[in-house]
């Protein structure tokens, strides 16, 4: 089992896979690929190199395949969006979106090979997410802090924000990867109480937030954003670092960004009464 990025896929020559799973497709890496169609085609190469013919595509992948004139076999279609709950996933990271989508695509592959259903759900029960993936940092004075630094594209941020039933104070921004920033901010606006913008894209984000009425503040760095979010939050709020952009403007990588956020939360949050 291995994960192949679009950067790797676009130059594949000798790679062959027994099966290929493609969960979803959304705006990302357009600073490299130029257009959504070019980005899609780079990832499509993985399906072309699936020698066993076992390919599985989530709902959004199916939409874009049709748009760009690619044909998927009927057995490749997996419904991954807006699916009903699964009682057997209660208490796991796959009980809710966005991780639910990952389980559905993996389950389709698992069942195609006739593997035991009980083993699939046993694995789900014991699975833990890696760091910086919508991880709860702490709860202080009724305010919950979340580290989602791995969210480096719009789709990941929107999935994270949509999962909260309580107000969200969002810390977002970073190095641009292309994409329709205006549309991204418009989609976020109804779900965010206040946005703290950081990084190279902070002023662009602020411009679009202003045009759609999203309360926001432009922050010079992550420390300032954490301090401001602390001041804005009241009991019941969620403070979420889910940047939507690359980390390479102010940090070594997304892990560095997430680790700095956790440290700032622990230091500043400890003073909250």
Strand bridging mode 238-241 / 143-147: parallel
Per-residue model confidence (pLDDT) at position 272: 40
What does DSSP assign to residue 116?
-
Q: Which residue has the higher pLDDT, 269 or 205?
A: 205
| CB atoms near residue 203 (< 10 Å) | 11
Per-residue model confidence (pLDDT) at position 12: 83
How many whole angstroms from its chain centre is CA 61?
A: 16
Please, where are the H alpha helices in the chain?
6-9, 30-33, 36-48, 59-67, 99-112, 117-126, 154-162, 181-188, 202-212, 222-232, 254-269
Provide the whole-model pTM: 0.84
Q: Supply the angle between the helices 117-126 and 99-112 in degrees, to the nearest 10.
A: 150
Q: Does domain 6-126 have CATH number 3.40.1190.10?
A: yes
Per-residue model confidence (pLDDT) at position 271: 44
- Positive or negative CA dihedral for 211, 212, 214, 220? negative
168-188 burial: b if 16+ Cβ within 10 Å, else e: bbbbbbbbbbbbebeebbbbb
Per-residue model confidence (pLDDT) at position 3: 87
| Residue 96, SS3 per DSSP | coil
Would the pLDDT of 190 be above 80? yes
- pLDDT tier at 273 (50, 70, 90 boundaries)? very low
- pLDDT tier at 11 (50, 70, 90 boundaries)? confident
Domain residue extents for the chain = 6-126, 135-268
Per-residue model confidence (pLDDT) at position 7: 84
Residue (of 74, 236, 215, 255) closest to 167 by Cα position: 236
Per-residue model confidence (pLDDT) at position 45: 92
Would the pLDDT of 229 be above 80? yes
Per-residue model confidence (pLDDT) at position 247: 97
Domains 6-126 and 135-268 fall in the same CATH topology: no
Cα gap 104→131, rounded to integer Å: 22
Per-residue model confidence (pLDDT) at position 129: 87
Under CATH, what is the fold of the domain 135-268?
Answer: 3.90.190
């Amino acid at each position: 089992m291995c994960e192949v990025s679009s950067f790797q896929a676009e130059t594949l020559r000798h790679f062959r896979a027994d099966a290929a799973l493609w969960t979803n497709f959304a705006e990302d890496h357009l600073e490299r690929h130029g257009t959504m169609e070019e980005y899609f085609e780079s990832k499509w190469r993985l399906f072309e190199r699936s020698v066993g013919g076992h390919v599985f595509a989530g709902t959004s992948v199916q939409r874009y395949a049709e748009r760009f004139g690619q044909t998927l076999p009927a057995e490749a279609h997996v419904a991954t969006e807006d699916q009903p709950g699964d009682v057997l996933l209660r208490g796991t990271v796959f009980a809710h979106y966005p991780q639910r989508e990952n389980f559905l695509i993996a389950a389709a592959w698992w069942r195609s090979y006739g593997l035991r259903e009980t083993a699939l759900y046993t694995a789900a029960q014991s699975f833990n997410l890696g760091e910086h993936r919508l991880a709860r940092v702490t709860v202080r004075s009724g305010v919950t802090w979340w580290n989602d630094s791995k969210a480096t594209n719009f789709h990941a941020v929107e999935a994270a924000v949509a999962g909260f039933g309580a107000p969200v104070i969002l810390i977002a921004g970073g190095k641009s990867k292309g994409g329709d920033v205006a549309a991204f901010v418009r989609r976020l606006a109804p779900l965010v109480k206040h946005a703290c913008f950081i990084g190279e894209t902070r002023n662009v984000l602020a411009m679009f937030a202003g045009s759609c009425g999203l309360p926001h503040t432009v922050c010079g760095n992550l420390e300032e954003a954490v301090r401001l979010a602390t001041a804005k939050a009241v009991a019941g709020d969620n403070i979420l670092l889910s940047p939507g952009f690359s980390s390479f403007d102010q940090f070594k990588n997304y892990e560095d960004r997430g680790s700095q956020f956790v440290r700032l939360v622990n230091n500043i949050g400890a003073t909250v009464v």
